[in-house]
Amino acid sequence: MINKRSLEDQAADLLRDDIVSGELTPGMRLVETSLAKEYNLSRGTIRIALHQLGSEGLVTQVPYAGWSVSMLNDQDIWELYTLRATLEGLAARLAAERIDDEGVARLQAIYQKLLVLCEGEDIKSIARADLDLHRTIVELSKHNRLALQYQLIENQFLAYIAAANQVFDRHQVGSSHYDLVAAICSGQGEQAQAEAIRNITYFAELQQHSAPDDQGH
């Protein structure tokens, strides 16, 4: 049986996937009644799901106007880039310094999954596998407070990654992480940190080209 809370979680997952895939575009107005009909769910379930996505920064509630898909302006891009660089750079260095054989096998398995998905056309699955790789690196850092902070913002990172992947050759997403994975698996902490930051910088440049400007054009 599906309880009420799990149904709300599923509604949030559906909306999140549609935002990540670009089916719901930045700035698009989200009408509860229309979404309820489309997903065959109650307005109450949709409303709670929207509030959940609002807390993740994926949608924005406008007073007297309802909800809309959040847009990334230059400030948002800069904040997400610098936050990712700080968290993922530190995580990569710590993971390289602390990794063991089990960790190497786990990271390689996640990376191979990303490479396989990049041979296909499923943008949502590629974006999630991309984030899974970075999340695994964070977990391998064995820094619990760092992992907690990453978890709080990871869905915004997911949207960021997905947006970048839409203007980047998705078939190259996996190979672009090769040097990062190799540095961590070989225990090269400083190199791993540099590769993590370099990788994010490239995505940030792509996102800068594809993001709408402050006027929403």
Q: Where are the domains of the chain?
A: 4-69, 74-210
3-state secondary structure of 215: coil
Of 147, 146, 139, nearest in space to 184 by CA: 139
Continuous H helices in 141-177? 144-167
Distance CA 160, CA 34 (A): 26
Q: Which of 52-56, 115-119, 211-215 has the lowest mean pLDDT?
A: 211-215
Helix (H) or strand (E) holding 105: helix 101-117
Domain 4-69 classified CATH 1.10.10.10? yes
Distance CA 67, CA 51 (A): 9
Token code pair at residue 37: 């009909």
- Residue in 207, 129, 197 with CA at minimum distance from that of residue 165: 207
Q: Strands 29-30 and 59-62, how do they pair?
A: unpaired
* Whole-number pLDDT of residue 37: 93
Mean predicted confidence (pLDDT) in 166-190: 89
User: Is residue 212 over pLDDT 60?
Assistant: no
Q: Tell me if the domain spanning 74-210 has CATH number 1.20.120.530.
A: yes
pLDDT, residue 115, reads 96
Structure tokens that stand for 191 in this block? 């190199």
pLDDT per residue as tens digits for the range 2-40: 455 578 898 999 998 888 777 888 889 999 999 999 999
pLDDT tens track for 80-110: 889 999 999 999 999 999 999 999 999 999 9
Measure the CA–CA gap between 147 and 38, rounded to whole angstroms: 35
- Are 170 and 118 in contact by the 8 Å Cβ rule? The answer is yes
